[in-house]
A and B are shown apart, each in its own frame.
Chain A
Amino acid sequence: MPRFPRSLLLLAAFQLATLLVAGCATTPPASDADAVADFKATNDPLEPTNRVFYAVNNGLDTVLLRPLAVAYKSGVPEVVRTHVHNVLDNLSTPVAVADDILQTKPRRAGDSLMRLLINSTIGVAGIFDVATDWGWPEHSTDFGMTLALWGVPDGPFLFLPVLGPSDPRDAAGFGVDVAMDPLTWVGQGTIVDALGYARLGVSAVDARAAALDDLDKIKAQALDPYATFRSLYRQHRDSQIEDARSDNRATLPVWFPAR
């Protein structure tokens, strides 16, 4: 079994241990009805634990990930960075096709499938994003969104080490996506492992470099960066899910005689 899923189990165990130490958030007194309503709406009962993990993540980010992202952005030309991003995108398209099908979104599944086929062949192993120009735009999807479209509520906010802002539904979805990814299981040996970790590392740096300016701005200007990230994560997630839910493009071809 590849080492990757085992590290996820370790993460989960670590989170559980820290939860027992840091504890849960204190509910505001029942006399302050507005505060209680706000507390319930925020839905973050594990806030002390989450803040600990946020501090840990922030430390790792400041010391390790952000300098790498800055070096990547300044050292590597934009064209090469775009190509790297395209290759990474292409590698995660099989999972996207599966998720789109599970979400019962045939047009989105079609987009993902065509992107996989076209970019892998004509786009030379995903380097060139030819499919977008040909009419199959990119969209992001994951098993967390699949669960959301199946009606699973998101649950309390969780700030996971390394993975960042999440919730039980999306964390479970991430695990399922890793298990569904054919690249997790294909091949064995040192080289395959090394390629897997390389993909993980480059994905992290690529994502961090794309969000460099925005995250710097938020950390500099927010009075409570943790709360800002929590709010942004939830809103962005809801918007992604709503985009998927409302994508009901017709599946009949134009020439097919409609009743």
Chain B
Amino acid sequence: MLTRRTSLTFFLGGLGLAAGVAGLVPTARAQQATDQAADFVDKTGKELVAVVNSTGSAQEKAAAATQIIDRAVDVDGVGRFCLGRFWRAATPEQQRQYLELFHRVLQVSITSKMGDYQGVNFIMGRALPRDSEVVAVSTTVLRPGNPPAKVEWLVSMASASPKVVDVMAEGTSLRLTQRDDYVSYLSRNNNRIQALIDAMRRQSNQAS
């Protein structure tokens, strides 16, 4: 007989079951995101290692590496982060110039190290979710002539394709360090964004 109590029990039980299943689904999705991030780092890392260790001129290697980096890293996002509180103070034209120079400075900084990285390799570690969108993938990078370094890659799964948003080398965040550098430079130059843009232009011209 379907009393009110029985139907209430069934209803609550059904609700509990639904909640339990709903609780499982984000976990399954989170696990999938974590695995995707780990695979992404593994694949991109292997591509980069292949480029660095390949035989070819420094220019060719640099061009190939830059392509991989542009695809894998959210360079615009990192650039915006690195300007810190000055992003809002910059005009759209300054923002555009800054991002363009940020791309170039990143290219220069990577390509200048291409020679040093000959013989580099890496070992995959664990992948753990940092928050709802970001997964931290640990690796150990083996550079010849240097002790092995623990490098963590923070991968954002927010958009359709995974993008690296930060690199933590031995616990130090690269984008945080870069931001501290730029913000300090700006505060010592009367908060003029043009001064930063000029300095970055000098830097990118220096090496090319």
Contact = CB atoms under 8 A, between A and B. Distances in A.
A42 B113 CA distance: 30
Contact of B180 (A35, A231, A243): A231
Contacts of B47: none
Interface stretch (A119-127, A161-169, A184-192, A215-223): A215-223
Interface residues of A, number: 28
B183 A38 contact: yes
Given A213-B116, A213-B146, A223-B199, A235 B171 contact: yes
B188 A232 contact: no
A223 B185 contact: yes
A25 to B, nearest CB: 10
B172 A232 contact: yes
Given A78-B145, A227-B180, A235-B172, A217 B85 contact: no
Interface string A218-241: 001111101110111001101110
A239 B172 contact: yes
A133 interface: no
Task: Tell me which of A226, A228, A232, A238 has the highest count of chain B C-beta atoms within 10 A of its own C-beta.
Answer: A232
Contacts of B172: 231-232, 235-236, 239
B171 A228 contact: no
A56 to B, nearest CB: 19
B interface, how many residues as a size bin? 20 to 34
Given A38-B85, A223-B199, A228 B116 contact: no
A38 B181 CA distance: 13
Interface of B: 84-85, 109, 112-113, 116, 143, 145-147, 170-173, 176-177, 180-185, 187-188, 191, 196, 199-200, 203
28 contacts: A28-B187, A34-B85, A35-B191, A38-B84, A38-B85, A73-B145, A210-B147, A213-B116, A213-B145, A220-B112, A221-B203, A222-B181, A223-B182, A223-B185, A223-B200, A224-B181, A224-B184, A224-B188, A227-B180, A227-B181, A227-B185, A228-B180, A230-B180, A231-B177, A231-B181, A235-B173, A236-B170, A239-B171
Interface of A: 28, 34-35, 38, 42, 73, 78, 210, 213, 217, 220-224, 226-228, 230-232, 235-236, 238-240, 242-243
